[in-house]
Amino acid sequence: MKTECPVCGAAIELAEGTVVGELLECPDCGTELEVVTLDPPEVKEAPQEEEDWGE
């Protein structure tokens, strides 16, 4: 099953047995993604913990 990273547009291959809610990382931009649906395959950016990063 193929879909696209919503951040960088890279092709994402969902392995057999993937379930909704599973977390994976985009191979190109490294963004953590969450599987939203399998039919059609779709992922979204996984929620991140807020960090104090140079604010």
Binding site for other proteins (CB under 8 A): 6-10, 28-32, 45, 48, 51, 53
Q: What's the count of helices (H) and strands (E) in the chain, helices before strands?
A: 0, 5
Q: Residue 22 in contact with residue 32, Cβ under 8 Å?
A: no
Q: How many CA atoms lie within 13 A of 20 on its CB side?
A: 7
Smallest gap, in angstroms, from Cβ of residue 51 to other proteins? 7
- Which CB sits closer to other proteins, 1 or 46? 46
Smallest gap, in angstroms, from Cβ of residue 17 to other proteins? 26
Smallest gap, in angstroms, from Cβ of residue 47 to other proteins? 11
